[in-house]
Structure formats: C-alpha cells, structure tokens
Amino acid sequence: MAYPASRDSASGFLPDAVTGPVKRAIARQVVGLFNDRSRGEAPVQRRTDGLFGPTAVAWRIHGDVGAMMVGGIASLMLQMLHPSVLAGVWDHSNFRQDMHGRLRRTARFIATTTYGGREDAEALIARINAIHARVRGHLPDGTPYSATDPALLAWVHVTEVVSFLDGWIRYGEPFMSVADQDRYFAEMAMIGVALGAAPVPRSRRGAERLIRDMRPLLAVDGRTREISRILLQQRSPDPLVARMQGLTTLAALDLMPVWAQRMHQVEAPLLARPALRAGAFGVARTLRWAFA
C-alpha cells in the first residue's frame, strides 16, 4: 500500500467497529471527487503489468491522496503562468463550467499511467496526444501557439512532476533522498517523452534548470487571474470535503516557489505558514488513515 501505517491515529486505540464507518465515509467522499459515478468510473486498480511497478518511486508518491491534491493544484497554478499554456486552456477548455471535471480527468490520467495496465496507459496517452493535435490558436498579440509544441509540453510536465514531488516531500516523506528524487524524475520522463515534451528533465537539478530558463517567458494577466479564481474557489457540496479542499488549496499556494506566489499575488504571511502546514499535514495523515 502507498499509505504507511500510523499507530498514533485513532485506529491504534479504537476498535474497527468504531473507526471503520468513519474511514469508509471519508474514503467514499474522496473517491467521489476523482471518479464520475454518472459515467461508471471507479478507482483505477493497481496492476503490475503497467508502465511502472510496486518498486517505482511514482507508486509511493502518486498513491498519497493528500500530497497529490496539494501538488496538483500547485502545478496548475504554475502552468497557467505560461501565456501559451494559458491560451490553450482558455480557448479550448470548458474549465469555466467544469473545473472539477478537468481536475478529475487529470487525476485519472495520473492514476491510469501510474497504476493501470500498459495497454490502458498507452491508449490514454495516445488519446491525449490526439486532443493536443487539435489545440492551436493565437495569443492576444497574434503569436501562434500549439499544444504539440515540445517546449510547452515540457513546461506542463516539469511543473507537474516538481509539484507532486514537493507535495510528497513536505507532507509525506520530508527526508526523501536526492537519489530517490532523481529516480522519480527519471521515471516520469517516460510519460513526458510519450506526450511529446522536450527537453524532459531526468533529475531534480535538470528540472530546476528548465524552470529557471522558462521564467522570463512567464506572465500574469486578467485571464490568469480568472482561471486562478475559479480553481481556488471550486468546492464540493459536502461540508467536510469542502473544508478539506479549502485547506489543501491554501497549502498548494504555499507549496509554490516564492517568485510564483508573488506573480499570483498569493504570498502567505510568514507567521501563518506553520499553522497552515500543520493543518495540511493533518489532512494528509487523515486521508492515509482512511485509505489504509
């Protein structure tokens, strides 16, 4: 399992007859966030004949719901800072009507390519490539863009991988070795290459260099703020899940590099960060307990 046992949780002192219904209720609500029951979607089952396997670093990172929620939101906020990525979403996505659906589809892509069988993973990658081939247009200043541009795909890839990894380090494995971090980048490079990204970093140092090189191209305008507003305000109708989403959203803003927080104008007060991180850590640990 991706969720480590925790004897200091309630399950260590109370019988399963008491904790079981609570765990199942939490798990049911979270599973509902990532699976569209109206379309018959169910959680992706772990298989050993996929692109990765149980010994992959990706298996242990991507299986942690709390850290992935934080990292996923942070990655989207970073991606929207690139004008061409922003334009592709703005011109060719129904995010304004269905932001939750977009987040759910992204989560399902990660789950399928990480844990699904190779045939399913490769079919989904091919489907995404076909969608990207139809996404093209012009920026407000007339500059053309295309979702098949290897540099744009590299930006989307690196921000996603860095954010997932940093979310895991902060809320799951704070003493993760540099070697394992580099292994994760090398594993995820397989997905980036299959999607047409280039260059694709295969180490933490390579990822940091790519982000540094891309920073002069980043910008914020009214459309960036509109997408950010919709992303940060999306909430479940369930009060418990909504509170969890609110906390993980704040944790995602805090996870971004300071320069990105300043571009989005969401830099958290220094004194508030310990309480925020403690709360997000509590959510992550509760989710591990619920899914264990």
Task: Classify residue 43: in a domain, yes or no.
Answer: no
Query: What's the number of domains the chain is made of?
Result: 1
Asked if residue 232 belongs to a domain, the reply is yes
For residue 102, is it within any domain? yes
- Look at residue 85 and tell me if it is in a domain: yes
pLDDT of residue 98: 66
Check pLDDT > 70 for residue 243: yes
What was the pLDDT predicted at 8? 41
246: containing domain: 19-36+52-135+144-291
- Which band of pLDDT confidence, cut at 50, 70 and 90, is reported for residue 242? confident
Confidence of residue 6 (pLDDT cuts 50, 70, 90): very low
Average pLDDT over residues 224-252: 82
> Binning pLDDT at 50, 70 and 90, where does residue 4 land?
very low
User: What is the β-pairing status of strands 136-138 and 144-146?
Assistant: antiparallel
Q: What is the pLDDT confidence band of residue 229, given thresholds at 50, 70 and 90?
A: confident
- Is residue 65 one of the residues assigned to a domain? yes
96 in a structural domain: yes
| 45 domain-assigned | no
Token reading at 250:
């704040």
Which of these ranges, 1-5, 60-64, 215-219, 257-261, has the smallest mean pLDDT?
A: 1-5
Residue 222, in any domain of the structure? yes
State how far the alpha carbon of 175 is from the alpha carbons of 5, 8, 161, 219, in Å.
Answer: 18, 20, 18, 33
For residue 10, the Cα-to-chain-centroid distance in whole angstroms is: 28
Report the pLDDT averaged over residues 14-34: 62
What is d(CA 124, CA 110) in angstroms, rounded to the nearest whole number? 10
* Cα separation, 242 vs 234, whole angstroms: 9
What is residue 48's predicted lDDT score, i.e. its pLDDT? 92
Query: What average pLDDT does the chain have?
Result: 86
In this predicted model, which residue has the larger pLDDT, 61 or 233?
Answer: 61
> What is the pLDDT at residue 187?
98
Q: Please check the confidence at residue 166 and state whether its pLDDT lies above 90.
A: yes
pLDDT band for position 155 (cuts 50, 70, 90) = very high
